[in-house]
Structure 1
């Protein structure tokens, strides 16, 4: 009797897929985590720029932190620390965002610093 071709390979593709599934999931999580980290970096820059613009205006120095937090997403604002240093000629703002993790490891934080000249003419 002739043996059917390929009969002994039944389920092989499924077994290979199941074997590769953890690797594919790990790659997918790494891609998503990289995107979240890059988003946190972008949000830190946005917060620092908005806060520095506000701190640079005469009479608006006290609104520095609020302006930085208002410029970014709410879930990122909760993880953000904004430090305003206002001098005579310039305002320097640092925004530090703790990077959220979906994989359970502490990924640290990202900090962006922006310096803007002070506009003393505007009240």
Structure 2
């Protein structure tokens, strides 16, 4: 080492480069700082965090759409079950078929799903049930103005 604060390890290989001191050697602080800065510019630390931050809205939107599709599918299942229960109640009802139909349709429906239109017309010996259930928006209890309808039919068992 020399008195000028240079180190042979940081010298310019071609001999007398710019930024050097005596004999083409670079100062330890200047050469090391420049090398660290250049390495820092080529470094990819934090790149995953930046990419994740950029993709987060896409990931969240996909999760929300998949959840909404799940709620719609479950509403189809609930509507089919409600129509089956309603037509069964209407087929065995002795009195008002429409009241029995509407009550049975709402009985087996979870509280967060709201029952829409219910009709149970009788056509000869056949009883039909048409049920509409509102689709919740992201969380049960917040409905969108879309109804899932289901239809079921059964033979009258009483007059």
- State the TM bucket, normalised to the shorter chain: 0.7 to 0.9
Looking at secondary structure, tell me which structure has more strand per residue.
2
For 1:73 and 1:109, how far apart are their aligned partners in 2? 16
Residue in structure 2 matched with residue 119 of structure 1 by the alignment: 157
Moved over 6 A (4+): none
- C-alpha displacement at 1:5, in angstroms? 8.6
Task: Give the structure with higher Rg (CA).
Answer: 2
Higher relative contact order (CA 8 A, sep 6+): 1
- C-alpha displacement at 1:99, in angstroms? 1.4
TM-score (norm 2): 0.66
Say if 2:76 is the partner of 1:41: yes
For 2:135 and 2:93, how far apart are their aligned partners in 1? 33
What are the superposed Cα offsets for residues 50-104 of structure 1, whole Å, 9 maximum, x if unpaired?
000000014152311001100111111x243211112430110001112122399
SS class of match (1:108) = strand
The unaligned stretches of length 5 or more in structure 1 are: none
For 2:47 and 2:86, how far apart are their aligned partners in 1? 59
SS class of match (2:137) = coil
For the 8 Å contact 1:101–1:107, the answer to whether it is kept is: no
Residue in structure 2 matched with residue 69 of structure 1 by the alignment: 106
| Number of matched pairs | 120
SS class of match (1:75) = coil
TM-score (norm 1): 0.83
What is the aligned-residue RMSD (CA, Å)? 2.6
The unaligned stretches of length 5 or more in structure 2 are: 1-31
